[in-house]
A and B are shown apart, each in its own frame.
Chain A
Amino acid sequence: METIILEKITLENIGCFVRKTVSFSGMTTVFGENRTGKSTLVYSLYFALYGTHLNTHLKVADLCRKGEAAGCVTLHFRKNGAAYKLRRATDALPRLFRRPLPDAAWEAVALHDPDALAAVVPVRPETAAIGSFFRESELIYFLQDMPRYNQTLLQNLIGMDDSLILRSRFKKARSRARDVQRAIAAAAPKHLPDPLNIELARRRLADAENAFARLEKTHQKAPPERRPDPTVYKLLHQQHQAKRQNLAALKTLASRLPAPASLKEEKEAIETRAKNTAETTAPAEELQRRLGGVTQKIDNLKLRQRHLEALERRPACPVCEQAVPPEQIDALARKINDQLSQAEAEHRSIETGLAEMRRIQEAHALDRKRLGEIERQLTEIGEIQRRIQDVTEQISVLEADLKQFDGIDGGVREAGAPFEQAAAPEAQRAVLQEEIIRQRVAIQRFEDAQKRTEEHRRHIAAAERKTLICTVAFKAVEEAIQGLGSRLLEKVRASVGEWSRHFSFLNRFDIQITDRELLPMIQAKGYQYKLNQMSKSERIFLYLMLKLAIGDALGHLGVFVLDDPADGLDLKRKQTLAYLLAEVAGRRQVIVTTNDAEFSSLFSSGLRQDL
């Protein structure tokens, strides 16, 4: 196992130090009061080696001295007999120098190359954090908190979380692959067509095609005689009979109507008469108006007669009472009588004219009525004649169509047998064509289904393969994690057994911790119950021994750095711890920081550094 031996470290602008150099021996005690930089020293050791903060919750910049933008750590160590100088700043890449001989000059090994540096530092940072560094904060966690996820103590210490999370991800990936496989299987056709049915369809198709070919050959040899359809003949015949009956009815109707010539003569006579009468007669309105005027005139004359008769009885002026001579009254009476006679004659003349006018109007009304009747009859006659003409033409067409049936005798025409005989091959041909199409469609559908089935089979096979790959990957992860646990446990168990022998002195202090008690705590999930039964000092010793054992199993730097491990211990336990660390110093370089002067004085043989 390659390890390193720390010689000294120089801090520049780190923590509370402007510049500080601390040297190390096989057993180094660093003493300092609170806030003098003990933890800073431990963090700086880890930072120098790995470039990160030992406390994962803090950043590298947190190491810098307050007010300084950057700090620098220079670590001198030995490995395989050679001296190394590692210089790392918080804001720059590391630089590693090597001096193979004490008097030789420093030569650069890794300048600004973290990967080259990793080849020199023997342990990964997370492993070193477990097996080579002891922080007060992790002890507090170990003493007070319950481990997460009910893991074993070993799993918790070596950080099995990441491995278990990795296993979980591979397990879910396998579940995904299975889901995909199930989905593809569900999408596959549920029922495949029966191959026997498709063979039957192929045979039926062959039979139909052969039959069709034979039928075509027969048709080519003796083309079928195209005979008229007797059904058509029947329909034509029925139509012909109906048209003839229609024509006879129209002719009968036409014979009952008067002759069109006489109707036209009568119409012309009526129109001539109406025209003449209109020319000779005065308008009725004029006569009526004159009659009214004459009637008014007669009424006035009669009124004047009555006035004269009154004047004759009393011949005096009704206004001036002057006497009127009788001669004058007589003359006036004669004049009025004459006028009245004329007016009455004129009235009679007008009334006669009006009577004549009424008679003429009545005659005109009769003429108009007769004229309308004549026109209706003429229109009806024209319509009947047009229909007779149309029906006659239709009968001619029907008779022409019926001529093609002249060659068929009446009995055969009624039965329709010749036509059916001629139509039979056509029907057979149609049936065969339909059968051929049906069977071809069935075969095509089967072939498509077969193609889809093959495609689905390929997809299912591919999905099964992918599921197998995911399953193998998951199983490999699972087995690896199981192996990891068992191998680590085996190593840790062996190491604990070895360390417990060095811890046998604990019996003197009534602390009974041997591998028989430790092993169940390491691997049992219910170990916290036993921890709770232990005292704080017992748990501190247990924890230290586990870290040493895990360091042996996973690897360590060859250095065991403890930050204030004696906090809270009584003198007896401090003596025990000091004795134990002295034992450890026989196998590893030990660096202990403490603010306890009593505890620091217990290390008589080691190097003491005061901060």
Chain B
Amino acid sequence: MTSTIDLLAELFSTSLSTLAAENGLTEAETARILSVFQQAAANPFMTEQHIHQRLTVDDDPSGS
């Protein structure tokens, strides 16, 4: 029994796995995309700027 957003998240996860494999994304990058999607789906106030920032944040915390 799923809602629209649950079904969307399920479809997103499936699609993301395929696209990540096709484009050579790492597991960390894939997990980051999924996390950002879940945050954006749950938070209607999350703007494209926030999405861009969280998607493109450097993996290395030191920024090097």
Contact = CB atoms under 8 A, between A and B. Distances in A.
A122 B1 contact: yes
Contacts of A204: none
Given A472-B33, A473-B37, A481-B8, A176 B52 contact: yes
A177 to B, nearest CB: 6
Interface in B16-64: 16, 19-20, 23, 25, 29, 32-33, 36-37, 40-41, 44, 46-49, 51-52, 55-56
B56 A466 contact: yes
Interface string A469-500: 11011011101110110011000000000000
A171 B2 CA distance: 25
B8 A480 contact: yes
B60 to A, nearest CB: 11
B34 to A, nearest CB: 9
B11 A473 contact: no
Contacts of A475: 15, 19
Interface string A543-565: 00000000000110000000000
A166 interface: yes
A473 B1 contact: no
B8 A484 contact: yes
A2 B1 contact: yes
B17 to A, nearest CB: 9
Q: Is the interface of B mostly helix, strand, loop or mixed?
A: helix
Contacts of A363: none
Given A169-B48, A470-B55, A472-B25, A477 B12 contact: yes
Interface string A120-131: 001110110000
Contacts of B7: 484, 487-488, 554
Contacts of B14: 480, 483
Contacts of A469: 25, 29, 32-33, 55-56
B52 A554 contact: no
Contact of B48 (A124, A160, A173, A480): A173
Contacts of B19: 472, 475-476, 479
Contacts of A127: 1-4
Interface string A224-237: 00000000000000
A554 B3 contact: yes
Contacts of A169: 40, 46-48, 51
A159 interface: yes
Contact of A170 (B2, B49, B51, B56): B51
Nearest to A155: B4
Q: Which applies to chain A's interface (DSSP): helix, strand, loop or mixed? A: helix
A176 B47 CA distance: 12
B51 A484 contact: no
B5 to A, nearest CB: 7
A597 interface: no
A555 B15 contact: no
A123 B8 contact: no
Contacts of A180: 56
B48 A172 contact: yes
A158 B23 CA distance: 32
Contacts of A171: 48
Nearest to A123: B1
Contact of B4 (A1, A160, A466, A483): A160
A564 B3 CA distance: 26
Interface in A153-208: 158-160, 162-163, 165-166, 168-173, 175-177, 180
Given A169-B40, A470-B56, A479-B15, A126 B4 contact: yes
Contacts of B32: 469
B12 A173 contact: no
Nearest to A470: B55
A70 B56 CA distance: 48
Contacts of B9: 480
A468 interface: yes
A243 B3 CA distance: 115
Nearest to B22: A472
Contacts of B40: 166, 169-170
Contacts of A168: 48
Contacts of B48: 168-173, 175-176
Interface string A449-476: 0000000000000000010111011011
A468 B56 contact: no
A173 B52 contact: yes
A166 B41 contact: yes
A494 to B, nearest CB: 15
A483 B46 CA distance: 23
A176 B9 CA distance: 23
Given A169-B48, A476-B12, 14 more contacts: A162-B5, A173-B48, A173-B49, A173-B55, A176-B52, A177-B55, A469-B55, A470-B56, A472-B23, A473-B51, A476-B33, A477-B12, A481-B11, A554-B4
Interface of B: 1-9, 11-12, 14-16, 19-20, 23, 25, 29, 32-33, 36-37, 40-41, 44, 46-49, 51-52, 55-56
30 contacts: A126-B3, A126-B4, A163-B4, A169-B40, A169-B48, A170-B37, A170-B40, A172-B48, A172-B52, A173-B48, A177-B56, A466-B55, A469-B55, A469-B56, A472-B25, A473-B33, A473-B51, A475-B19, A476-B12, A476-B15, A476-B16, A476-B33, A479-B11, A479-B15, A479-B19, A480-B14, A484-B8, A554-B3, A554-B4, A555-B2
Question: Shortest 9 CB-CB distances between A and B: which pairs?
Answer: A172-B48, A555-B1, A480-B11, A480-B12, A466-B56, A124-B3, A173-B52, A479-B15, A173-B51
Interface of A: 1-2, 122-124, 126-127, 158-160, 162-163, 165-166, 168-173, 175-177, 180, 466, 468-470, 472-473, 475-477, 479-481, 483-484, 487-488, 554-555
